A and B are shown apart, each in its own frame.
Chain A
């Protein structure tokens, strides 16, 4: 029940974020929307920035829950951007706030383990060391994060899923290309 209250505060926050700019949301707005007292709010969160941080941390945790059952780049990356496509306005408001780094961190930290798991699966029998795989995964996660941030900056076009398919194709081809090739 206690976590239910915390989740309700977070839901209110997301609902408000879909309506107004992040910097314009106050604790009063959340408390009034959610119906919990100010004391209860402060029991769970320090301030508005803290909710965003915890919300993003929860999303990251949720996205890497099924890390053992990763499928293709396309399916996993589409799952990752689910939050973005479902909450376009909210994401746009976070992007245009002082807390943009939280969005960037979410994209990178949620995609990195997933991408790494797929690459590990694909390069299972290769000669690449775990450090090499780490570097390759980071390059892909950075490419994914940067591309999504650019899409958000450009106002998030409707064909975002098509772009994810293209990014996934690039990742697939890149991993296939290095699969049978040694850097040394």
Chain B
């Protein structure tokens, strides 16, 4: 129960930080690339930890963190690289940011399709946000802009949308439900063990 709460809160907080960082980048596009690299690296690590916690939590809907383990590990590795080698990665930083946003948004795209099948009314909000963010992510990767400042501003806007997507998905699809006494007897598949499987067979 606590883990879902931590994951939900952590995910909302990391989404809000992303929105604020995006806003900052949009207003100050000429900010130091090394500082940006380290800040983004730290954010990616935080988001990775939250994803892993979310994956192992007993989230009732199991939508937001369904790919949490793989994405979480990937995020922690990538975030660490961004913090350790900011100079080395400076020239390819936009591509890395674009790829991270694109990958995460594509998973959100799949989550929104699953939300529809699951029966969530506002599944289309996350669908629109994920498509928009994916398109912006692709734009960042291919960089059609001549000025670095414009590019940074676009990264800032994309990061804001990415943060909004994260906040929406966390608020809308992560559910903390206290089970009643009767429901505590039910076994969720995460707690499922071989003995019970054998009994069932």
* A interface list, Cβ under 8 A from B: 1-5, 8, 26-29, 31-32, 34-40, 43, 47
CB distance from A121 to the nearest CB of B (A): 36
Asked whether B188 lies within 8 Å of A39 as measured between CB atoms, the reply is: yes
Asked whether A26 lies within 8 Å of B186 as measured between CB atoms, the reply is: no
Asked whether A26 lies within 8 Å of B118 as measured between CB atoms, the reply is: yes
Which of A5, A27, A29, A35 interacts with B117 by CB under 8 Å? Answer: A27
Asked whether A37 lies within 8 Å of B185 as measured between CB atoms, the reply is: no
CB contact list, B150-201 vs A, under 8 A: 175, 177, 179-180, 183, 185-190, 192, 196-197, 199-200
Query: Please, how many angstroms separate the alpha-carbon atoms of A32 and B58 in the complex?
Result: 13
- Known contacts being A2-B192, A2-B200, A43-B192, is A35 close to B186, with CB within 8 Å? yes
CB distance from A4 to the nearest CB of B (A): 6
Q: Which 9 A-B pairs have the closest CB atoms?
A: A26-B119, A35-B183, A28-B119, A38-B62, A43-B189, A5-B186, A2-B196, A2-B200, A35-B179
CB distance from B117 to the nearest CB of A (A): 7
CB distance from A24 to the nearest CB of B (A): 9
A-B contact count (CB 8 A): 73
Which of A2, A29, A38, A43 interacts with B60 by CB under 8 Å? Answer: A38
Asked whether A36 lies within 8 Å of B118 as measured between CB atoms, the reply is: no
Q: Could you say which of A1, A4, A27 has the most chain B C-beta atoms within 10 Å of its C-beta?
A: A1
Asked whether B118 lies within 8 Å of A37 as measured between CB atoms, the reply is: no
Asked whether B118 lies within 8 Å of A27 as measured between CB atoms, the reply is: yes
- Known contacts being A26-B119, A34-B183, is A3 close to B188, with CB within 8 Å? no
**Seed contacts A27-B118, A38-B62; 13 additional CB < 8 Å A-B pairs:** A4-B187, A5-B187, A8-B185, A8-B186, A26-B119, A28-B120, A31-B118, A35-B183, A36-B188, A37-B59, A38-B63, A39-B62, A40-B190
Query: Please, how many angstroms separate the alpha-carbon atoms of A6 and B197 in the complex?
Result: 12
Asked whether B188 lies within 8 Å of A40 as measured between CB atoms, the reply is: yes
* B interface list, Cβ under 8 A from A: 58-63, 117-120, 175, 177, 179-180, 183, 185-190, 192, 196-197, 199-200
Query: Please, how many angstroms separate the alpha-carbon atoms of A159 and B189 in the complex?
Result: 45
Which of A31, A34, A37, A47 interacts with B190 by CB under 8 Å? Answer: A37
- Known contacts being A37-B61, A38-B62, A38-B63, is A29 close to B190, with CB within 8 Å? no
Query: Please, how many angstroms separate the alpha-carbon atoms of A29 and B179 in the complex?
Result: 15
